[in-house]
Amino acid sequence: MKENKKGLYIKIGIILICAAIYFFVQPVKIGINQAWTMLRMLNVDVARNYILSFDIWAPIVSFLLMVFQSLIIPLPAFIITFANAGLFGWIRGAVLSWSSAMAGAALCFFIAKYYGRSVVEKLTSKFALDSIDVFFKKYGKFAILIARLLPFVSFDIVSYAAGLTSMSFWSFFWATGLGQLPATIVYSYVGDMLTGTVKTFVMGLLILFALSVLIFLIKQLWNEKNKGISKN
């Protein structure tokens, strides 16, 4: 009983400390508000200029931005990936985007493990989590890998939802790393060619990846069907 109370106090304490830092440490509050505003603009040039303004700290700021957007569902990760490619070159940009996205995914996973479903529902939504639950039940051990390949499935909600399951961290980690690699490489490769708003380009990529995953799923279903026929 005492251990449960101690754990609850620690959880509440962490939340209160984070809230206090945001509200009472002005540089942190200003920085978070600026990052939020910048990412919501969906503008690669703005993102590049923002990250570049930190000079030698630009890679670290970019890393923190990716982790930050992982925690806040509506913020678009691809803007940071595009900006990284334009600033650091597509190879180094891809490495930076991939590693920072992995850090963000791990953080979401552990938040869900530690705080549970009620807190995660506040950070995301009950409807979104219920949808991912159905997705997990349908695809089983391949759910994480498939979700990472689907650009229209929220990267961050999947990370939170995975933390609510009995899945081990390392199973989640490797599936996430492998699944997000294709999108990171493609986004990074073309990222330094982008300027201004990117909605049209992103829609094209979404269609491309959706078709790729659709082909993959059809192939999987075909193989399963053939196995069932051969057994009969």
Q: Which tens digits make up the pLDDT trace of 133-142?
A: 888 888 777 7
Average pLDDT over residues 172-180: 89
Residue 202 has pLDDT above 60, yes or no: no
pLDDT of residue 151: 60
Average pLDDT over residues 159-173: 91
**Are 84 and 97 contacting, i.e. CB atoms less than 8 angstroms apart?**
yes
Average pLDDT of the chain is 80
- State how far the Cα of 204 lies from the Cα of 210, in Å rounded to an integer: 10
**Residue 118 half-sphere exposure, CB side, CA atoms within 13 Å?**
1
Average pLDDT over residues 82-99: 91
- Show the tokens assigned to 83: 């900006």
Average pLDDT over residues 146-159: 76
Average pLDDT over residues 165-176: 90
More confidently predicted of 107 and 215:
107
How many other CB atoms sit within 10 Å of the CB of residue 172? 19
Residue 181 has pLDDT above 80, yes or no: yes
Q: Is 36 exposed, middle or buried (0-12, 13-18, 19+ CB in 10 A)?
A: middle
